[in-house]
Amino acid sequence: MDRSDLRQATDGRHHLLPRVIEPETLTPWLGDPRILIVDLSRRELYEQLHVPGAVHVVTRDLVAGVKPATGKLPPRAQLTALFSQIGLDAARHVVVYDDEGGGWAGRFIWTLDVVGHQAWSYLNGGIHAWSAAGLPMESQPVVPRRTEYEVELHPRPVADAEDILEQLDDPRLVLWDARSKEEYRGERVSAARGGHIPGAVNLEWLDLMDPGRHYRLREDLDTLLAEHGITPDRDLIVYCQTHHRSGLAYLVARYLNYDNVRGYHGSWSEWGNRDDTPVEQGG
């Protein structure tokens, strides 16, 4: 199956665009009012160049920002303000990209799932692939048409520490640690304790993208995940340090039609700073 031709989300509804869209496929849709293009690149890059019509989102608006688990889901009011400001409404299909290979784009897509907005796509390779294709770009910031988008939170995509503690001995659960090998083994410590959640498998987020193809997703993702014991028949929880890098892991799982994937938004910044959570090192 050519996954670039997928037209159906895991909820069974048809959408305007595939889950992962190539730059050339998006080009004819530029200017279509049914499409909302969201840029999560660094602001200084956005102000130099971006996909025509793309609105910019500052990544700090996607997180609560409260220490130690700064990456947790922000309050509903914060999300309501964000999505209203960028002009989201239920009828629009969102196309998301960034400048880093999909981490922040994936975090944004997870957030869309949390608020129940299933109509989304990832621009494969982000601004790197768009620029390499020689497609039109603009530098003038886009002022979005504001809407009144009242957010409702849906718990299904969200995992909390208590959910993991309850399921640690469940053989159906697979925990995907998207951090570096050094963080996973406890050699690089960014919390009170280093290491990983017991039983978690380590597949770094950088291994999901192909720098030789302008940071598009790898073409062998099914095989890569299976080699790490990550398969669609299991319950999947992804995490990293702040649920930023694991945003890409979540995106990949959704793209591959994993029905039961959740993002642990507390991630290691919460788990590693608690004193009641088990930790493994090495591996």
Active-site residue list: 240
Distance CA 38, CA 82 (A): 12
- Count helices and strands in the chain by DSSP H and E runs: 10, 12
Tokens 């053989």 appear where?
A: 171
Which structure tokens are listed for 162?
A: 């208590």
Where helices occur in the chain by DSSP H, the ranges are: 23-26, 43-46, 76-85, 103-114, 126-132, 161-167, 181-185, 221-227, 245-255, 267-271
CA dihedral 60, 64, 65, 68 (to 10 degrees): -140
Amino acid making up residue 105? A
